[in-house]
């Protein structure tokens, strides 16, 4: 049985807690956060620790805390024999390099506390300071997911940036569209089949080939009509994206 301690109380820590709790071969022995009230989702109060000196010996410590807090926290974290792995997409592996056994355990997904996710198919990106530790991380990760990837720090930063485009930026566009629908007395639900088809399509086509719309067609009349309907902020976004599509596809405005 692999003993696990999770550091943190945010979205990722919550989902790690829920999934490790029910995973055979992994034993969650502790949840640590300086403010224990943030660990109110933990069913067993005996698992909760809020003082750093109370952290238990474990086989692996998963640091699921904010990126900006990682370096400082790693400096004060006790030295254990267990492997210390941070869960950040953008931080270098070196921020936990003061430990003898260290690495990265990065689940690539958008996590919200209130929404369950299927951890079985979440890509988990791994990096470690030795082959032995990498093999151990693989052993842990394979108990949670069937999508395991070796990704170095440079690649992980590029992956994290790519994820911002496909997740954070696309969701912001959904939010802008939802707001615009509301302004015009339309339910956003009308657009959901289109969103689903757009996402489903890239299972069989590369995104470049799946592109459609007035920018690709160089339909200047429609583009100008759209721009007339938008406020300054949406107009800027529409223009930037239109120009980007046309540049990528070799067409100019």
Q: In the prediction, which pLDDT does 116 show?
A: 87
Average pLDDT over every residue of 130-145: 98
Q: In the prediction, which pLDDT does 6 show?
A: 98
State how beta strands 124-128 and 102-107 pair: antiparallel
Q: In the prediction, which pLDDT does 117 show?
A: 86
- Please state, in angstroms and as integers, the Cα–Cα distance from residue 181 to each residue in 67, 186, 189, 232, 241, following that order: 35, 5, 10, 17, 20
Q: Which CATH number, 3.30.70.260, 3.40.50.720, 3.20.20.140, 1.10.10.10, labels domain 2-151? A: 3.40.50.720
Identify the band that residue 114 occupies on the pLDDT scale cut at 50, 70 and 90.
confident
Q: In the prediction, which pLDDT does 252 show?
A: 55
**CATH class assigned to 156-248:** mainly alpha
Question: Looking at the predicted structure, is the pLDDT value of residue 204 above 80?
Answer: yes
Average pLDDT over every residue of 15-35: 96
CA nearest 124: which of 150, 101, 102, 153?
150
The model's pTM: 0.89
Interatomic CA distance for residues 239 and 243, integer angstroms: 6
Buried residues in 218-251 as b, exposed as e (16+ CB within 10 A): eeeeebeebeeeeeeebeeebeeebeebbeeeee
Q: Cβ(28)–Cβ(20) under 8 Å?
A: yes
Q: In the prediction, which pLDDT does 132 show?
A: 98
- pLDDT tens profile 31-79: 999 999 999 999 899 999 999 999 999 999 999 999 999 999 999 999 9
Interatomic CA distance for residues 154 and 93, integer angstroms: 10
Q: How far apart are the first and last CA of the chain?
A: 61
Q: In the prediction, which pLDDT does 76 show?
A: 92
* Domain regions of the chain by residue span: 2-151, 156-248
Identify the band that residue 113 occupies on the pLDDT scale cut at 50, 70 and 90.
confident
């Amino acid at each position: 049985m692999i003993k696990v301690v999770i550091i943190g109380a945010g979205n990722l820590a919550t989902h790690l807690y829920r999934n490790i709790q029910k995973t055979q071969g992994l034993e969650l022995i502790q949840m640590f956060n300086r403010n224990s009230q943030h660990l109110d989702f933990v069913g067993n109060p005996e698992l909760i620790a809020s003082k750093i000196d109370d952290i238990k010996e474990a086989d692996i410590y998963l640091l699921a805390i904010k990126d900006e807090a990682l370096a400082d926290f790693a400096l004060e974290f006790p030295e254990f024999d267990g492997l210390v792995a941070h869960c950040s997409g953008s931080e270098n592996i070196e921020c936990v390099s003061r430990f003898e056994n260290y690495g990265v355990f990065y689940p690539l997904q958008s996590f919200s506390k209130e929404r369950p996710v299927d951890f079985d198919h979440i890509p988990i990106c791994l990096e470690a300071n030795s082959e032995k530790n990498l093999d151990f991380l693989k052993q842990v990760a394979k108990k949670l997911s069937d999508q395991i990837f070796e990704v170095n720090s440079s690649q992980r930063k590029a992956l994290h940036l790519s994820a911002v485009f496909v997740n954070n930026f696309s969701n912001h566009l959904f939010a802008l569209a939802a707001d615009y629908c509301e302004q015009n007395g339309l339910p956003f639900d009308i657009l959901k089949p289109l969103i689903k088809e757009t996402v489903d399509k890239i299972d069989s086509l590369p995104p470049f080939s799946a592109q459609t719309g007035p920018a690709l067609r160089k339909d200047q009349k429609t583009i100008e009509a759209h721009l007339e309907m938008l406020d300054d902020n949406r107009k800027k976004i529409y223009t930037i994206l239109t120009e980007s599509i046309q540049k990528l596809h070799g067409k100019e405005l």
